Amino acid sequence: MNIFRDEEDSIAETRLHKYPKFMKHRYTYLVIAVVAQLIIAPLLEKQIPLIMPFLFLILILAVLGTLGLRQFFLRVLLGLGLLGFLFSVVARAFQLPYQDALYFYMAGLSADSLFLLIAITVLVVKIFSEKKITAETIKGAISVYFLMGFFWAFLYSLVLLVNPGAFSFQTGTFEYSSLTYFSFTTLTTLGYGDFAPVSWMARNLTILESTFGQIYLTVLIARLVGLHIVGKRQDTCASTKDQ
Protein backbone atom coordinates (compact mmCIF):
# COMPACT_ATOMS: atom_id res chain seq x y z
CA MET A 1 0.00 0.00 0.00
CA ASN A 2 1.46 3.33 -1.09
CA ILE A 3 1.34 5.92 1.69
CA PHE A 4 2.79 8.73 -0.45
CA ARG A 5 0.89 10.97 -2.84
CA ASP A 6 1.26 10.18 -6.53
CA GLU A 7 3.95 12.10 -8.37
CA GLU A 8 1.36 13.88 -10.53
CA ASP A 9 -0.55 14.98 -7.44
CA SER A 10 2.65 16.26 -5.82
CA ILE A 11 3.56 18.29 -8.93
CA ALA A 12 0.07 19.74 -9.16
CA GLU A 13 0.06 20.56 -5.47
CA THR A 14 3.41 22.34 -5.80
CA ARG A 15 2.05 24.48 -8.61
CA LEU A 16 -1.23 25.29 -6.90
CA HIS A 17 0.07 25.55 -3.35
CA LYS A 18 -0.36 28.89 -1.64
CA TYR A 19 3.26 28.72 -0.53
CA PRO A 20 5.25 27.26 -3.45
CA LYS A 21 8.52 28.52 -1.95
CA PHE A 22 7.91 26.39 1.14
CA MET A 23 7.26 23.32 -0.99
CA LYS A 24 10.44 23.91 -2.96
CA HIS A 25 12.64 24.45 0.10
CA ARG A 26 10.72 22.39 2.67
CA TYR A 27 13.80 20.50 3.87
CA THR A 28 15.61 23.79 4.45
CA TYR A 29 12.77 25.00 6.65
CA LEU A 30 12.77 21.67 8.47
CA VAL A 31 16.46 22.08 9.31
CA ILE A 32 15.72 25.62 10.57
CA ALA A 33 12.87 24.32 12.76
CA VAL A 34 15.12 21.61 14.21
CA VAL A 35 18.00 23.99 14.96
CA ALA A 36 15.54 26.46 16.52
CA GLN A 37 14.53 23.72 18.98
CA LEU A 38 18.15 23.37 20.10
CA ILE A 39 18.64 27.13 20.48
CA ILE A 40 15.35 28.29 22.01
CA ALA A 41 14.49 25.39 24.34
CA PRO A 42 17.46 25.74 26.75
CA LEU A 43 16.95 29.51 26.97
CA LEU A 44 13.25 29.43 27.87
CA GLU A 45 12.71 26.02 29.44
CA LYS A 46 12.91 27.25 33.05
CA GLN A 47 11.09 30.56 32.56
CA ILE A 48 8.26 29.21 30.36
CA PRO A 49 7.70 25.47 30.93
CA LEU A 50 4.90 25.40 28.35
CA ILE A 51 7.32 26.50 25.62
CA MET A 52 8.55 22.91 25.20
CA PRO A 53 5.33 21.31 23.86
CA PHE A 54 4.63 24.34 21.66
CA LEU A 55 8.13 24.25 20.18
CA PHE A 56 7.73 20.56 19.45
CA LEU A 57 4.31 21.22 17.89
CA ILE A 58 6.00 23.60 15.43
CA LEU A 59 8.50 20.86 14.64
CA ILE A 60 5.65 18.39 14.12
CA LEU A 61 4.03 20.69 11.56
CA ALA A 62 7.37 21.24 9.80
CA VAL A 63 7.92 17.48 9.60
CA LEU A 64 4.43 16.81 8.25
CA GLY A 65 4.97 19.46 5.58
CA THR A 66 7.87 17.46 4.16
CA LEU A 67 6.44 13.93 4.13
CA GLY A 68 4.08 14.15 1.14
CA LEU A 69 1.68 11.60 2.64
CA ARG A 70 -1.82 10.77 1.50
CA GLN A 71 -4.56 12.53 3.45
CA PHE A 72 -5.49 9.54 5.63
CA PHE A 73 -1.93 8.82 6.77
CA LEU A 74 -1.23 12.51 7.21
CA ARG A 75 -4.23 12.87 9.54
CA VAL A 76 -3.26 9.80 11.54
CA LEU A 77 0.26 11.11 12.08
CA LEU A 78 -1.03 14.60 12.88
CA GLY A 79 -3.46 13.11 15.42
CA LEU A 80 -0.61 11.26 17.09
CA GLY A 81 1.45 14.45 17.28
CA LEU A 82 -1.47 16.45 18.70
CA LEU A 83 -2.11 13.72 21.26
CA GLY A 84 1.44 14.00 22.53
CA PHE A 85 1.12 17.79 22.57
CA LEU A 86 -2.08 17.71 24.66
CA PHE A 87 -0.66 15.26 27.19
CA SER A 88 2.46 17.40 27.58
CA VAL A 89 0.44 20.61 28.03
CA VAL A 90 -1.83 19.04 30.64
CA ALA A 91 1.16 17.66 32.56
CA ARG A 92 2.80 21.10 32.68
CA ALA A 93 -0.16 23.49 32.90
CA PHE A 94 -2.25 21.99 35.70
CA GLN A 95 -1.27 21.40 39.28
CA LEU A 96 -1.80 17.65 39.19
CA PRO A 97 -0.76 15.18 41.88
CA TYR A 98 2.70 13.75 41.22
CA GLN A 99 1.45 10.33 40.12
CA ASP A 100 -1.13 11.77 37.72
CA ALA A 101 1.38 14.20 36.23
CA LEU A 102 3.81 11.30 35.81
CA TYR A 103 1.26 9.35 33.77
CA PHE A 104 0.58 12.37 31.55
CA TYR A 105 4.30 12.95 31.00
CA MET A 106 4.78 9.30 30.09
CA ALA A 107 1.80 9.31 27.73
CA GLY A 108 3.00 12.50 26.04
CA LEU A 109 6.57 11.24 25.65
CA SER A 110 5.34 7.89 24.32
CA ALA A 111 3.16 9.59 21.69
CA ASP A 112 5.97 11.97 20.70
CA SER A 113 8.48 9.11 20.48
CA LEU A 114 6.13 7.08 18.28
CA PHE A 115 5.51 10.12 16.08
CA LEU A 116 9.25 10.67 15.60
CA LEU A 117 9.91 6.98 14.94
CA ILE A 118 7.28 6.89 12.18
CA ALA A 119 8.31 10.27 10.77
CA ILE A 120 12.00 9.33 10.66
CA THR A 121 11.21 6.02 8.93
CA VAL A 122 8.96 7.69 6.35
CA LEU A 123 11.48 10.47 5.71
CA VAL A 124 14.32 8.00 5.17
CA VAL A 125 12.20 5.99 2.71
CA LYS A 126 11.10 9.17 0.91
CA ILE A 127 14.60 10.67 0.68
CA PHE A 128 16.32 7.53 -0.53
CA SER A 129 13.64 6.79 -3.12
CA GLU A 130 14.02 10.15 -4.86
CA LYS A 131 15.17 9.82 -8.46
CA LYS A 132 17.46 12.86 -8.39
CA ILE A 133 19.60 13.75 -5.37
CA THR A 134 19.89 17.51 -4.87
CA ALA A 135 21.32 19.74 -2.16
CA GLU A 136 17.78 20.00 -0.77
CA THR A 137 17.64 16.19 -0.48
CA ILE A 138 20.86 16.19 1.54
CA LYS A 139 19.36 18.83 3.86
CA GLY A 140 16.44 16.46 4.39
CA ALA A 141 18.84 13.68 5.35
CA ILE A 142 20.63 16.02 7.77
CA SER A 143 17.30 16.95 9.37
CA VAL A 144 16.61 13.23 9.90
CA TYR A 145 19.90 13.00 11.81
CA PHE A 146 18.75 15.79 14.12
CA LEU A 147 15.33 14.16 14.56
CA MET A 148 17.10 10.97 15.64
CA GLY A 149 18.73 12.97 18.44
CA PHE A 150 15.33 14.20 19.65
CA PHE A 151 13.86 10.70 19.38
CA TRP A 152 16.50 9.20 21.66
CA ALA A 153 16.15 12.13 24.06
CA PHE A 154 12.47 11.24 24.46
CA LEU A 155 13.38 7.61 25.10
CA TYR A 156 15.90 8.66 27.75
CA SER A 157 13.20 10.86 29.34
CA LEU A 158 10.89 7.85 29.58
CA VAL A 159 13.64 5.77 31.19
CA LEU A 160 14.34 8.56 33.66
CA LEU A 161 10.66 8.83 34.62
CA VAL A 162 10.52 5.10 35.36
CA ASN A 163 13.93 5.04 37.10
CA PRO A 164 15.12 8.43 38.45
CA GLY A 165 18.56 6.94 39.07
CA ALA A 166 19.05 5.76 35.49
CA PHE A 167 21.55 8.56 34.75
CA SER A 168 24.38 10.21 36.63
CA PHE A 169 25.01 13.89 35.87
CA GLN A 170 27.37 16.42 37.41
CA THR A 171 25.17 19.51 37.12
CA GLY A 172 23.06 20.46 40.12
CA THR A 173 19.84 21.02 38.18
CA PHE A 174 18.23 18.84 35.56
CA GLU A 175 16.02 19.80 32.61
CA TYR A 176 14.84 18.16 29.41
CA SER A 177 17.57 20.03 27.53
CA SER A 178 20.09 18.04 29.60
CA LEU A 179 18.84 14.80 28.04
CA THR A 180 18.86 16.43 24.59
CA TYR A 181 22.49 17.37 25.18
CA PHE A 182 23.30 13.83 26.29
CA SER A 183 21.46 12.36 23.32
CA PHE A 184 23.39 14.39 20.76
CA THR A 185 26.75 13.78 22.41
CA THR A 186 25.94 10.06 22.28
CA LEU A 187 24.68 10.22 18.69
CA THR A 188 27.91 11.91 17.59
CA THR A 189 30.03 9.70 19.94
CA LEU A 190 31.58 12.75 21.63
CA GLY A 191 31.04 11.41 25.16
CA TYR A 192 32.30 14.25 27.36
CA GLY A 193 31.83 12.15 30.50
CA ASP A 194 29.78 14.72 32.45
CA PHE A 195 26.59 12.73 31.87
CA ALA A 196 26.60 8.95 32.12
CA PRO A 197 24.03 6.13 31.90
CA VAL A 198 23.80 4.00 35.03
CA SER A 199 20.94 1.52 34.58
CA TRP A 200 21.15 -1.35 32.10
CA MET A 201 18.30 0.08 30.01
CA ALA A 202 19.96 3.48 29.75
CA ARG A 203 23.27 1.88 28.78
CA ASN A 204 21.68 -0.33 26.12
CA LEU A 205 19.90 2.67 24.61
CA THR A 206 23.17 4.61 24.40
CA ILE A 207 24.79 1.67 22.61
CA LEU A 208 21.96 1.57 20.07
CA GLU A 209 21.97 5.34 19.54
CA SER A 210 25.73 5.63 19.00
CA THR A 211 25.66 2.65 16.62
CA PHE A 212 22.73 3.97 14.58
CA GLY A 213 24.27 7.43 14.49
CA GLN A 214 27.55 6.20 13.01
CA ILE A 215 25.86 3.88 10.51
CA TYR A 216 23.59 6.69 9.34
CA LEU A 217 26.48 9.09 8.77
CA THR A 218 29.00 6.71 7.24
CA VAL A 219 26.59 4.74 5.04
CA LEU A 220 23.44 6.68 4.25
CA ILE A 221 24.61 10.31 4.26
CA ALA A 222 27.84 9.37 2.46
CA ARG A 223 25.82 7.51 -0.19
CA LEU A 224 23.56 10.52 -0.77
CA VAL A 225 26.51 12.88 -1.13
CA GLY A 226 28.14 10.46 -3.59
CA LEU A 227 24.97 10.23 -5.67
CA HIS A 228 24.64 14.02 -5.63
CA ILE A 229 28.20 14.44 -6.95
CA VAL A 230 27.65 11.82 -9.66
CA GLY A 231 24.39 13.51 -10.69
CA LYS A 232 26.07 16.91 -11.01
CA ARG A 233 28.84 15.41 -13.15
CA GLN A 234 26.29 13.76 -15.43
CA ASP A 235 24.41 17.05 -15.80
CA THR A 236 27.67 18.83 -16.62
CA CYS A 237 28.61 16.22 -19.23
CA ALA A 238 25.12 16.37 -20.78
CA SER A 239 25.23 20.18 -21.04
CA THR A 240 28.72 20.01 -22.57
CA LYS A 241 27.55 17.56 -25.25
CA ASP A 242 24.56 19.75 -26.09
CA GLN A 243 26.86 22.69 -26.68
In this prediction, residue 172 carries a pLDDT of 54
Summarised one tens digit per residue, pLDDT across range 144-199 is 999 999 999 999 999 999 998 898 877 655 677 888 999 999 999 888 878 889 99
- pLDDT tens for 31-42 read 999 998 888 888
* Most distant CA atoms of the chain, gap in Å: 74
Q: What is the pLDDT of residues 69-89, one digit of tens each?
A: 888 889 999 999 999 999 999
List, for residues 38-61, the tens digit of each pLDDT value. Answer: 888 888 888 888 888 999 999 999
User: pLDDT category, 14, cuts 50, 70, 90?
Assistant: very low
pLDDT of residue 238: 57
Please tell me the pTM assigned to this model: 0.86
Of the listed ranges 17-21, 81-85, 125-129, 233-237, the one predicted with least confidence: 17-21
Q: Give yes or no for a contact between 73 and 3, defined as CB atoms under 8 angstroms apart.
A: yes
By residue count, the chain amounts to 243
Question: Contact at 8 Å (CB) between 44 and 51?
Answer: yes
Average per-residue pLDDT in the chain?
Answer: 83
Beta-carbon contacts of 181 under 8 Å, excluding residues fewer than 6 positions away, are 195
Q: pLDDT category, 237, cuts 50, 70, 90? A: low
Listed by start position, the domains of the chain span 7-242
